[in-house]
Amino acid sequence: MNKIRALREAANKPQKELAIDIGVRQPTISDWEAGRKDPSTKNAQKLASYFGVSVDYLLGRDDEPFRGAALQSSKGRWIPVLGDVAAGIPIDAIEDIVDYEEIPNEMAKSGEFFGLRIKGDSMLPVMKTGDVVIVRKQDTVEDGDIAVVLVNGDSATVKKVKIVQNGIYLIPFNTAFAPMLYSQADIDSLPVKILGRVMELRAKF
């Protein structure tokens, strides 16, 4: 039997749950278990960590499951990092996955999450191009929250949100960029849509 399937069934994990936990799609798990595709090096390491076995055992290169393995399973859940978020495409369906990040299980229990890679200079000096923000999906935020916002069908932007009477400001950290004011009419017509609240910044050096 395929080692990935055997480990999953021994752990009593449905394919869908395993896919969510390590940040891939369910058909990908099916392909691995059927032998149609092999996991990438990074995904093999995720799976090995998740099940607490060695990569060589996972890939059928060793009969000893714990030789060189981490002796405990992953403490978190892997989420996809998106390079871009475009209008009209549900986040779950976006193919522009550039990486994965692991978040603690306690955080994962509080909602649905994705990562977004920062592009541009508008959030300097706090956030720079290449940094990753961890985002909890939600369609509203509180005054002062940092959010991922989709404006006028363009790619998503990361900005601080200031709520004012009959509208919102999207405020960059970089003072070379002006805040953007959107009235309630703008929010409805453009539209301006909150995709999620930024919960964590992971700076990349």
For residue 69, pLDDT over 50 is answered with no
- Give 183 or 80, the one with higher predicted confidence: 183
For residue 85, pLDDT over 80 is answered with no
Q: Which residues are catalytic?
A: 122, 159
Q: What angle do CA 19, 112, 16 make, to 5 degrees?
A: 20
Spatial contact of 177 and 127, defined as CB atoms under 8 Å apart: no
pLDDT, tens digit, for every residue of 141-194?
999 999 999 988 777 899 999 999 999 999 999 999 999 999 999 999 999 999
For residue 71, pLDDT over 60 is answered with no
Output the pLDDT for position 67.
52
Strand segments (E) across 18-95: 76-82
Output the pLDDT for position 152.
83
pLDDT, tens digit, for every residue of 99-132?
778 888 888 889 989 999 998 899 999 999 999 9
Structure tokens at 97: 């996955």
Q: Which domains does the chain have, with CATH numbers?
A: 3-74 (1.10.260.40), 77-202 (2.10.109.10)
